[in-house]
Amino acid sequence: MARVDRTGTFRFTKVLEAGISTTGKKEDGTLRPWFNVRLALSEFYDETEGEWVPWEEYEQEITARSCLFGMDKKKKQLGPLFTHQQVMDVFGWDGKSFQALATNDYTGVKGQVIIADNDPEYADKNPYQTNGFRKFDSDPGSRLRKLEGDDLKKLDAQFASVLQTSGSAPVAVSAPAKPKIPPKTVAEAAAATVTEPKPETAAEKKVKINAKAKKLKAVKAAAAAENKKPGPPARTPAPPTTPPTDDAKTEGISKQDAWEICVELKSKYCTDEQLSDAWNAAYDQVTGGIPDDGDVMPEQWRDIKDATLDEVGVL
């Protein structure tokens, strides 16, 4: 299997290998026990989408190395670290025997492992390290170290008498009074009476689209003459919103120009697939679905362009 190639929270459902090792500390000469385990990663938590993504197909693994005991500076003796409790929670260890931890059967064990960037001093050999374990169904978005489920129940039981004497009686909460709605001001009353502008008619929309198409065609023609990429057209006053004249209706365009205009004027939310579907539907509508587009007249390409932009165009 390949090594993991990113940081984040992963799920695992298979333990590939597990064992115990030790390291020494020069300052006190004591040994530190480490739990080392190779994990096959099965899911990755996508924080942007807030969901688990299947990961088994990538066949990636991580080797987690967890120090179980450290020196308590106040007591000047070894004591369990937070990873000690994590290993107990996730791997079913009772915390009483390293031999048992090293030889346990981990078939069916599953959980979460947090992967972070490694110390730069060691990153050239191993760019990533583990930063703790969680139970399989824990909230992957949490960044706090906290007890859950049965551990909280045990804590309640342990401190039951203390909690009873330290707590206070619940305070009855009355429903808040409903706020009075102030009368509308003159300005608000006037604003409420303003009517929404009337939506554009199909004819008005077509006039604007045709005007933009002509402007775009002129810019492209000028750019082609200068052999350079066209820039944006100059801003001009909007044309009058009157239905097109008979002369305008008879003006045709080529298939290529019709398509390029549709590409330029389609909505930014329109996908390429949606544009193609609208174009094909317009073609069938205008031409009756003739198989050879070489028989399509320039006026029909204009109408195909208009019908396409009626579906996916934006002004």
pLDDT digits (tens, 9 = 90+) for 207-228: 777 777 777 667 666 666 655 4
Helices 272-287 and 255-265 pack at an angle, to 10 degrees, of 140
Q: Is the pLDDT of residue 202 over 80?
A: no
CA gap 149, 152 in Å, rounded = 6
At 23, list the tokens.
Answer: 């390291």
* Per-residue confidence (pLDDT) for residue 65, from 0 to 100: 93
Helix locations, 45-184, DSSP H: 82-91, 98-103, 150-158, 160-166
Lowest mean pLDDT among 65-79, 108-122, 199-213, 298-312: 199-213
CA gap 307, 87 in Å, rounded = 65
| Residues 242-251: tens digit of each pLDDT | 444 544 455 7
**Amino acid of residue 257:** D
| Whole-prediction pTM | 0.47
* Per-residue confidence (pLDDT) for residue 181, from 0 to 100: 53
Choose from 108-122, 129-143, 191-205 the range with maximum mean pLDDT. Answer: 108-122
Q: Where are the domains of the chain?
A: 2-139, 202-312
* Per-residue confidence (pLDDT) for residue 27, from 0 to 100: 61
| Residues 281-292: tens digit of each pLDDT | 888 888 888 877
Rg (CA), the chain: 35
* Per-residue confidence (pLDDT) for residue 86, from 0 to 100: 94
CA gap 86, 146 in Å, rounded = 11
